[in-house]
Every structure is written in C-alpha cells, then in structure tokens.
Amino acid sequence: MSRIEYVACLDQQYQSQGFPPYKWSEFDSSPWTPFDKPLEKSSIALISSAGIFRDDQEPFDPWAINDLSFREIPVDTPFERLKLRHNYFDHRDALRDLNCVFPVHRLKELEKSGFIGRLVPKAITFGMGRLYKRTALQNETVPRIVELLKQQGADAALLVAA
Amino acid sequence: MMARVKAPRSVFVDFPLGRQCGKPNEPELQTQILKDALHVLVTATTPGEMVDLPYEWHEPFDWACYLRDTEQMLNEEGSEKQEWNPKG
C-alpha cells in the first residue's frame, strides 16, 4: 500500500483555498547523543501531540492555531479523567482506547515487567496542529518541557505524533 | 514529514493518523509497537534513522479516507467543520 504524502496533500488542500505555502520544518541534520543505558535501567518519558488534558486542566481547543501550551499528565491518571480535544485527525479510535496515541497503560506494563526501568511520573502533551510560531515553540515551550523531563530524571523521551 | 524533521531515532507505523501506537483495545499489538520503538532507541547508530515497522492496517487508506473519516467524526459528534479563510 503506498503511503499518504501528508505534506503534499496538505499543501494542495490549503493552497487551493488561497493560503500561502506552509513553511514545513526541514533540517539537514539530526541531533545525536549516544544512548548507552540498557532499557531495563532507563527512565522513559512519554510525550504525545494528541490534544489530551486532564479534567481539571485548561482544555485544548480542538481547532487550535498557534497553541504553544503543554500539559503535564501524571501517568497514573485514570483514563476517565482524561479528555481529548483535537479535530485534525480522526480521534475516534483514540476515544475508544487512549493507548492508541497515549500508551501509558502499555508503558506501565513494560515498567512492571522490567522491560524498561521506569516510566517517568508525568507525561507531556503538546503540539496541537497549525503551528506557525516555530521560533517561539523552539525557544520558549520546548526548553520548559526539557527541563521538566530532566527534573524527573528522564533518559529518553518517546514522542507520539498523533 | 518525519524525513524532513529528522528526529534522532524514529519508527514509522503505516496506520492512519490517531493510531500510531496501535489499534484500540489490542494490547499485544500496542506493546509490540512500543517494544520495537524502544529497541530502536538502544540499537540505532545513525542520526535521523527511520525504521519502518511491518504492521499493516486492515484495509487500504489514503488521503481521501482521511478527509472522509474526519468529516464523519465531526458529523457523529455534532461538531461544526471549521471554515478558515486565508487573510487577504
């Protein structure tokens, strides 16, 4: 099955409506830090862009534009307390089982079985669609998230792009 | 998109958006996807390496399906499709 070329399709869709071309992020190189710890001793952090927040937190706007905010979600939060608001993808399967885009139950099981050392206690959700403020995201939002992950002793982060 | 961003290590699951960690209520599949991703964490040697995982969605899907499914979702939920107008 051939893959969907999301960039080309989105470009075609929005430019045909009169929007200027979106400046997709494109990098020539990739940052690299060797990862030498065995998984069974590693602390893994979960980050998801699926628009998930807890019932006592500020909701995400499902049609967000330039939302640079993020939420910290304790990984033991029961799913009944989590909400998903994101209309840029078909979220119906995620509503049936949040693990499709926020796999905390599976990661907790992998922790319990010793496959990973630890799932860090707070997951991060951010990165709603239609972001144009790239510099602000990189210079303001991301350093704060990195700091939170470091405070929790994360060795690596698993990013789930919903 | 992933090829442009070049995260240090990534895995690609060829499922429709919103199911990147597997299908709903299929914990074995979800677990396997995570194990595969975590395996790449410890075995990758090339920055920007992308590994395609072998899982297949149960039916073909394409961009038209994405548009149809998101529209169906909005209809089911009684949400208005948002009309954006490019600024003149």
* Residue-wise pLDDT tens digits, A53-95: 999 999 999 988 889 999 999 999 999 999 999 999 999 999 9
| Alpha carbon distance A137, A126 (integer Å) | 10
Indicate if the pLDDT at residue B85 is higher than 80: no
pTM: predicted TM-score of the whole model, two decimal places: 0.92
Question: Are A160 and B20 contacting, i.e. CB atoms less than 8 angstroms apart?
Answer: yes
Residue spans per domain, chain B: 2-77
Cβ <8 Å between A161 and B18: no
Q: For all residues of chain A together, what is the average pLDDT?
A: 93
User: What's phi and psi for A144, nearest 5 deg?
Assistant: -65, -40
Indicate if the pLDDT at residue A1 is higher than 70: no
Q: Which of residues 8-47 of A touch B (CB under 8 A)?
A: 9, 17-20, 24-27, 29-33, 35, 37-39, 44
What is the ipTM score, two decimals? 0.92
Q: What is the pLDDT of residue A33?
A: 92
Alpha carbon separation from A45 to A7, A42, A158, B12, B33 (Å, rounded): 28, 10, 6, 19, 16
Average pLDDT over residues B56-85: 89
Helices (H), A2-128: 6-15, 92-96, 104-112
| Alpha carbon distance B8, B29 (integer Å) | 24
Residue A12 CB coordination number (10 Å): 12
Q: Which of residues 131-150 of A touch B (CB under 8 A)?
A: none
Indicate if the pLDDT at residue B87 is higher than 60: no
Set of chain B residues whose Cβ sits within 8 Å of the Cβ of A92:
18, 69, 73, 76
Residue B69 CB coordination number (10 Å): 19
Question: In this structure, what token pair is assigned to residue A109?
Answer: 């099981």
Helices (H), A5-155: 6-15, 92-96, 104-112, 134-136, 142-151
| Alpha carbon distance A64, A150 (integer Å) | 28
How does residue B80 score in pLDDT terms, banded at 50, 70 and 90? confident
Q: What is the pLDDT of residue B88?
A: 42
Residue A131 CB coordination number (10 Å): 18
